[in-house]
Amino acid sequence: MKLGALTGGAETAQVTGFAIDHRKVAPGTVFGAFEGARVNGEDYIADAVRSGAVAIVARPGVAVDGAVLIADANPRERFARAAARFFAPFPATSVAITGTNGKTSCVEMTRQLWRMAGHHAASIGTLGVTTADERVTTGLTTPDIVTFLSNVAGLAREGVTHLAFEASSHGLTQYRTEGLPVAAAAFTNLSRDHLDYHGDMAAYLTAKLRLFAEVLSVDGTAVVWADDIESARVIDLARARGIALVTVGTHGETLRLVGRDPTLLGQGLTIEAEGRTHRVTLPLIGAYQAANALVSAGLVIATGGDVAQTLANLSRLQPVRGRLERAVITRTGAPVYVDYAHTPDALEAAIAALKPHAGGRLIVVFGAGGDRDQGKREAMGQVAVSQADAVIVTDDNPRTEDAAAIRRDVLKGAKGATEIGDRRGAIAAAVHDAGAEDIVLIAGKGHEQGQIVGDLVLPFDDVAVARECAA
């Protein structure tokens, strides 16, 4: 592709790639020079040019010598649009999911439902890239725009026709999942998270709404979990743009949940759709898993899926890694579950999902991450001690903060909880204390394979540790 195709000019230089890291610039690269929270990419323009960059995407007025300046007041968006033209084509059908909780489960459930319908489908999100043959490539939790688009294009070359991806508030604000046509976008819920980045809930919600205000194609469909307090904002926005709507939940009009009956290993759902009543046995426990399943079904239906067949396929869904994943059953017969819940709302939902299945106590092990929103720590402690029968406060990912100080913040709300800083020791204590009728919930890290302490990532897998302790 010639540079002129991206600038609208007559430049004949051949574009060979895109980069936002000056160390990855090669001859023919278009370099994105953006202001970041810690690093200003504009400081590396000269280095990028020396490495062979043919164009620099940056703010107007930035000095560039030896390469073409593609100036824009919003250089991240301009860079994303240009990169999308370079990397295309992409899968024919792409959908995005945003919200505080449920994004990872929804992209994976959507992928599974598409696969059951005979499509070559993939998903991208916190778990990484999951392809149609169940192959998972991790390490792409928060991909930059170049990594995202190159991977999406690679999936298309492999024959993937349907893609579901997570649209986080950070990604939407920083234009990291931009450029490809979005046929449907889903909203799961909104609760406190990432206020260390966004500042307040209003800014956090605004970041989420950008998916529906700007990213979603005008001929696309908004899929909304109608039971969340903020769902009306999304619905109003979609209607203002003239976008088609699919609403799901007990207040949903497309898929109305009229009954939910917990069973030993799942739950029975009664759903009204198209004037008919559908009864589904969902092999996943918890109200929030039912919500995730219905949002996923809504996305599939919004992109052409048959309503009856899609709902019937809910009974074949498989658990998602680290999302109420049953890690092991102890020698006394107590099941141990691992969940990614790391906000007050998510922790409450995970506890509520397991509580009806506990004949005895529900024992919760959790902590809070360092270098993140400190305001949610005490609230998480309050949720844990008010909803669970026994609570152990431990370390999560302390990062550069003092781990003991983080635990003290949590314990302000978790009066009466036990404090065991060492996460392995905390898990062992819960596993060994659990009786035959008890259930153990290990929350906070879910699928993660490491614990971040300082600048180190130490190998740590809650599921593996729980199994070792049970053995």
How far is residue 372 from each of residues 79, 100, 194, 275, 342, measured CA to CA in Å?
28, 15, 7, 46, 11
Q: How many CB atoms lie within 10 A of CB 243?
A: 20
151 is in an annotated binding site: no
User: Can you tell me whether residue 59 is helix, strand or coil?
Assistant: coil
252 is in an annotated binding site: no
| H helices present in 15-168, as ranges | 45-50, 75-87, 103-116, 145-157
User: Can you tell me whether residue 346 is helix, strand or coil?
Assistant: helix
Q: Which residues contact 240 (CB under 8 A, 6 or more apart)?
A: none
| H helices present in 323-459, as ranges | 344-354, 376-387, 403-411, 423-433
435 is in an annotated binding site: no
176 is in an annotated binding site: yes
* Alpha-carbon gap, residue 214 to 218, rounded angstroms: 9
Q: How many CB atoms lie within 10 A of CB 282?
A: 21
Q: Which residues contact 361 (CB under 8 A, 6 or more apart)?
A: 388, 389, 390, 434, 435, 437, 438, 439
Q: Which two three-digit tokens encode residue 328?
A: 């092991």
191 is in an annotated binding site: no
397 is in an annotated binding site: yes
372 is in an annotated binding site: yes
171 is in an annotated binding site: no
Give how far the C-alpha of residue 157 lies from the chain's centroid of Cα atoms, to the nearest Å.
Answer: 24
**Are 123 and 163 spatial neighbours (Cβ–Cβ below 8 Å)?**
yes
Q: Which residues contact 142 (CB under 8 A, 6 or more apart)?
A: 168, 170, 171, 176
168 is in an annotated binding site: yes
The CA radius of gyration of the chain, in Å to the nearest whole number, is 23
* Alpha-carbon gap, residue 334 to 436, rounded angstroms: 5
Among candidates 163, 282, 182, which has minimal Cα distance to 222? 182
User: Can you tell me whether residue 396 is helix, strand or coil?
Assistant: coil
103 is in an annotated binding site: yes
174 is in an annotated binding site: yes
Q: Which residues contact 433 (CB under 8 A, 6 or more apart)?
A: 363, 390
Q: How many CB atoms lie within 10 A of CB 210?
A: 16
**Are 354 and 389 spatial neighbours (Cβ–Cβ below 8 Å)?**
no
249 is in an annotated binding site: no
Identity of the residue numbered 223:
V
Q: Which two three-digit tokens encode residue 53?
A: 């960059």
104 is in an annotated binding site: yes
Q: Which two three-digit tokens encode residue 441?
A: 């919930």
Residue ranges of the binding site for meso-2,6-diaminopimelate: 372, 396-399, 444, 448
Residue ranges of the binding site: 99-105, 141-142, 168, 174, 176, 372, 396-399, 444, 448
Residue ranges of the binding site for ATP: 99-105
